[in-house]
Amino acid sequence: MIKDRTPAAILLGALLIAGTVVYVESKRPHTIQPEPIQMSELEQLVVPPDGVVLPVIWQDLGTQLMETEVIDASKFTPLPNSSKQLVITRENAGVILNSFWALGLGNKNPILEEGEMMDPRYGGAGRFASTAGWTIAQGDPMSHYSRHTFMILTNEQQALVDKVSKGIYRPCCDNSTHFPDCNHGMAMLGLLELMASQGVSENDMWEAALAVNTFWFSDSYETIRAYAPDTEPKNILGAAYSSASGYRKIAQQIVVPKQQNSGSGCGV
């Protein structure tokens, strides 16, 4: 878990994840298969086994991302084209993360061009984990940074993305989605843009963002939900609960038994 976002830590994080992680099945003899994991009641509440329907349609963005080479099809297969609302599950949460990471990185938006990512003190937008860490594009990832028009937002829709993105944090760092310096932040930005372009209400955006964050950081949100079970999505997504520092304070006060890893590391 990344605990700070100083320029040095940002660069180190980007360098550490500069390669794609490949998981290879072990072929050790006499391996004893573990018993199926039984989900606790809290875990089933936080990450429902059947997933959560999101108020957004992916459409043909998978094809567009490959045609523009934001995604190299030989390295990664994004979400398939679909005219139905997207459903996030444990099984597809990683594909959703990488697909929306590509969308957030490549779609032209003022947040990328005028926001914190462009602050001169960080030495350029290409030094972050969300940019330097995107190793599955054709060519330099910065050649795709805010370069493609996958959707056009009205002034009102852009204002909504600005507002909501500033209120959504993630347990891997202390920055909001308006500063999308890691893969989770960039993916969330892409999700917010797509929802806004499809006319999703602010309230539904908060609820969808919490659902997605929860599948990406399931262990963290089990702890948060045990600490504050009835808090509104907008409040849970704020810095007091969902930032790295906010989550640490909560984790020091409550312990939830962990049954499996959440797989929430910042990398492809």
| DSSP-assigned letter for residue 58 | E
**H helix runs in 93-201, sequence order:** 93-106, 110-114, 129-132, 155-165, 183-197
Q: Say which residues have a Cβ less than 8 Å from residue 23's Cβ, sequence separation at least 6.
A: none
> Mean of the pLDDT values across residues 88-111?
98
Largest CA distance in the chain: 61
Place of tokens 């890893």: 261
pLDDT tens figures, 51-84: 999 999 999 999 999 999 999 999 999 999 999 9
Instruction: Say yes or no to pLDDT of 27 above 60.
Output: no
CB of 1 within 8 A of CB of 171?
Answer: yes
Q: Spell out the domain ranges in the chain.
A: 50-251
Q: What's the chain's average pLDDT? A: 85
What is this structure's pTM?
0.83
pLDDT tens figures, 148-164: 999 999 999 999 999 99
